[in-house]
């Protein structure tokens, strides 16, 4: 029997971001083609059989993105984005986090099942200019493509837009036994999908581009490269796709409708490989796919498109024949039984523009919106109350855990949603049921990952309670403290301070 090949994007077409009033379509780049930047792997300061040590530095820089003037950018251990960070399952990670920016930042480990609020690196763990913070945690989760990005409320969107995002790869023994390409930079490469608008002198201007429903630009930027090409020297290529954009959905397909196989999603390998010709990714999702170029010959050009815009050219070179086949079953996906004593937790995402909220409230850094016990599994029902006429797809994200999708509006999840996830996009008028459990205690955020929405208050806060320490007290930051620091660092008064997310609270007449 022929394998099923999926040829559509699954999401509600009437809610694609192409219908937004503020939609910015991608434009084909006229910049001369550039080799795709493959981020170097960050070397650990030290590694033993049980521990890994890294120094991660947030820094400013300049990057040659277009002909002419360099663009002022931010990055981790580099001028833009960052070096790929490798963590190994079972090892204890020791991080020395340095801030060489001119303003405070945080280091959020998106997709890692680690304690919060400090290790997780959300808004409660600021690192001030010329300051540092040391954190330690243990990796106890399957192989996956995760990422590091800034998360200081309410300036997360601006800092990610400036360039603070980089790939994190978790390795484990189970993934190592699978017949997957894993020669990094040759047949195993990250694809960080972002978009930008260039202003005078090749510079970015976040405030000029600001839209409360998410900042977009007409120029695709892939791994920090404009109009990239990749030299294909192997028949099979593993692409670790990350939607690192503030707002944009990417509807991906290759020229000739070339089939590809998805083998992993956000937090690990899928139970079985899934074949596609078209794949839609929403903000912060990850998809690992295997592309087989066996039908092409040297000199051919295979193009990856988002909608109708080419974003990466794959230039085919001579390669050895590779007849490797994927097994029909890849891994067992963990998931505990639901605790019948726990009620279903309902979460409602509502609004657009400045009106975005979760459960009819905007985010408050010192308010705990929900508590759940450590180690128990609970059903969470996530609803998007936007309507299909002018509504948006909201990508829902949870810190500090991976969940399993149970259903969409009572129906089966999409075919590639049977693995571990930390982002699920919810169509207007839809509700998605999740199995949620935490293996670590602490304070964690859950929010829409259109980054301007989370800055604008579409975010809430969860406390996972350890029964061995139910009265544990956490020191939580507040918006006023962070905004006062931003104002001081920028040399402006609080009245003159501009942070995009502040506008959403102000226009709704709400206090942060």
CATH topology match: 37-176 vs 345-471: yes
- Which sequence spans correspond to the domains of the chain? 37-176, 345-471
CA distances from 389 to 112, 223, 385, 392 (A): 36, 34, 12, 9
- Note the pLDDT of residue 43: 98
Domain 37-176: top CATH class: mainly beta
- Residue pair 326/290 in contact by the 8 Å Cβ criterion: yes
Q: Is the peptide bond before 154 cis (omega within 30 degrees of 0)?
A: yes
pLDDT tens digits along 53-86: 999 999 999 999 999 999 999 999 999 999 999 9
* End-to-end C-alpha distance for the chain, whole angstroms: 58
Between 186 and 510, where is the model more confident?
186
The model's confidence at residue 19, banded by pLDDT at 50, 70 and 90, is: confident
- 406 Cα distance to chain centroid: 21
DSSP code of 339?
-
pLDDT tens digits along 158-211: 999 999 999 999 999 999 999 999 999 999 999 999 999 999 999 999 999 999
Please state the rounded mean pLDDT for residues 398-413: 98
pLDDT for residue 487 is more than 90 = yes
- DSSP-derived 3-state class of residue 124: coil
Please state the rounded mean pLDDT for residues 226-255: 98
Q: How far apart are CA 441 and CA 275, in angstroms?
A: 37
Please state the rounded mean pLDDT for residues 415-441: 97
Phi then psi for 176, rounded to 5 degrees?
Answer: -65, -20
- 393 Cα distance to chain centroid: 16
Six-digit token pair at 451? Answer: 């980054």
- Look over the chain and give the mean of its residue pLDDT values, rounded to a whole number: 96
Strands across the sheet containing 309-316 = 34-35, 228-232, 309-316, 301-306, 250-254, 278-281
Please state the rounded mean pLDDT for residues 273-299: 98
Strands across the sheet containing 5-6 = 5-6, 268-276, 260-265, 286-292, 236-243, 188-196, 219-222
Q: Which H helix or E strand runs over 370?
A: strand 370-373
Bridge-based pairing of strands 188-196 and 236-243 is parallel
Closest CA to 503 of 456, 448, 453, 452: 456
355-378 CB burial, b ≥16 within 10 A, e <16: ebbbeeebbbbeeebeebbbebbb
Percent of the chain with pLDDT over 70: 99
Q: How far apart are CA 173 and CA 143, in angstroms?
A: 8
Six-digit token pair at 39? Answer: 């981020």
Cβ of 13: how many Cβ atoms within 10 Å?
11
pLDDT for residue 374 is more than 70 = yes
Domain 345-471: top CATH class: mainly beta
Tokens 């279903």 belong to which residue? 344
- Note the pLDDT of residue 288: 98
Tokens 């304070």 belong to which residue? 443
pLDDT for residue 2 is more than 70 = no
* CB proximity list for 21: less than 8 A, separation 6 or greater: none
Q: How far apart are CA 386 and CA 333, in angstroms?
A: 32
DSSP, residue by residue, 172-191: -HHHHTS-----BTTTEEEE
- 486 Cα distance to chain centroid: 25
- Residue pair 359/460 in contact by the 8 Å Cβ criterion: yes
Proportion of the chain in helix, strand, coil states, percent, rounded to 5: 10, 40, 50
- Note the pLDDT of residue 137: 98
Phi then psi for 196, rounded to 5 degrees?
Answer: -145, 155
Please state the rounded mean pLDDT for residues 106-110: 98
SS3 letters for 229-245? EEEECCCEEEEEEEECC
- Note the pLDDT of residue 387: 86
Q: How far apart are CA 43 and CA 54, in angstroms?
A: 8
pLDDT for residue 21 is more than 90 = no
Between 137 and 21, where is the model more confident?
137
Closest CA to 306 of 353, 366, 361, 255: 255
* CB proximity list for 473: less than 8 A, separation 6 or greater: none
Please state the rounded mean pLDDT for residues 322-332: 96
Percent of the chain with pLDDT over 90: 95
Q: How far apart are CA 242 and CA 263, in angstroms?
A: 14
Q: How far apart are CA 455 and CA 501, in angstroms?
A: 5
pTM greater than the 0.85 cutoff = yes
56-93 CB burial, b ≥16 within 10 A, e <16: bbbbeeebebbeeeebbbbbbbbbbbbbbbbbbbebeb
Q: How far apart are CA 419 and CA 402, in angstroms?
A: 9
């Amino acid at each position: 029997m022929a394998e099923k090949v999926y040829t559509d994007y699954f999401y509600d077409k009437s809610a694609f971001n192409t219908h937004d009033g503020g939609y910015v379509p991608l434009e084909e780049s006229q910049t001369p083609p550039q080799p795709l930047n493959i981020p170097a792997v960050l070397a650990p300061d030290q590694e033993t059989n049980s521990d890994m040590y890294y120094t991660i530095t947030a820094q400013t820089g300049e990057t040659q993105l277009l002909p002419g003037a360099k663009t002022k950018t931010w990055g981790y251990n580099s001028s833009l984005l960052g070096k790929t960070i490798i963590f190994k399952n079972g090892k204890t990670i020791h991080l020395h986090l340095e801030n060489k920016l001119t303003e405070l930042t945080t280091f959020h480990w998106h997709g890692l099942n680690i304690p919060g609020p400090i290790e997780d690196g959300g808004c409660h763990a600021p690192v001030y200019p010329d300051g540092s913070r040391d954190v330690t945690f243990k990796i106890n989760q399957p192989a996956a493509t995760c990422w590091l990005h800034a998360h200081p409320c309410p300036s997360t969107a601006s800092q990610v837009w400036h360039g603070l995002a980089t790939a994190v790869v978790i390795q484990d023994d189970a993934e190592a036994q699978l017949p997957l390409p894993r020669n990094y930079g040759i047949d195993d490469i990250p694809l960080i999908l972002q978009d930008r608008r260039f202003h005078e002198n090749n510079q970015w201007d976040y405030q000029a581009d600001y839209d409360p429903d998410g900042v977009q630009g007409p120029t695709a930027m892939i791994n920090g490269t404009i109009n990239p090409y990749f030299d294909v020297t192997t028949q099979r290529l593993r692409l670790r796709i990350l939607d690192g954009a503030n707002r944009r959905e990417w509807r991906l397909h290759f020229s000739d409708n070339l089939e590809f196989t998805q083998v992993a999603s956000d937090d690990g390998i899928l139970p079985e490989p899934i074949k596609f010709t078209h794949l839609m990714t929403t903000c912060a999702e990850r998809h690992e796919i295997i592309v087989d170029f066996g039908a092409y010959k040297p000199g051919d050009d295979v193009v990856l498109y988002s909608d109708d815009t080419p974003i990466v050219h794959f230039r085919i070179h001579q390669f050895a024949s590779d007849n490797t086949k994927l097994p029909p079953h890849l891994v067992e996906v963990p998931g505990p039984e639901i605790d019948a004593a726990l009620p279903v937790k309902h979460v409602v995402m509502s609004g657009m523009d400045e009106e975005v909220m979760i459960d009819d409230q905007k985010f408050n850094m010192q308010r705990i919106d929900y508590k759940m016990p450590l180690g128990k599994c609970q059903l969470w029902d996530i609803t998007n109350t936007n309507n299909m006429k002018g509504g948006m797809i909201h990508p829902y994200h949870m810190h500090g855990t991976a969940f399993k999708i149970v259903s969409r509006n009572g129906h089966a999840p999409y075919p590639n949603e049977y693995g571990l996830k930390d982002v699920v996009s919810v169509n207007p008028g839809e509700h998605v049921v999740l199995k949620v459990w935490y293996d670590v205690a602490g304070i964690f955020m859950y929010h829409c990952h259109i980054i301007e929405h989370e800055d604008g208050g579409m975010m809430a806060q969860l406390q996972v309670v350890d029964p061995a320490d139910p009265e544990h007290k956490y020191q939580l930051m507040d918006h006023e403290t962070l905004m006062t620091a931003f104002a001081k660092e920028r040399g402006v008064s609080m009245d003159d301070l501009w942070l995009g997310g502040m506008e959403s609270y102000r226009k709704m007449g709400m206090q942060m």
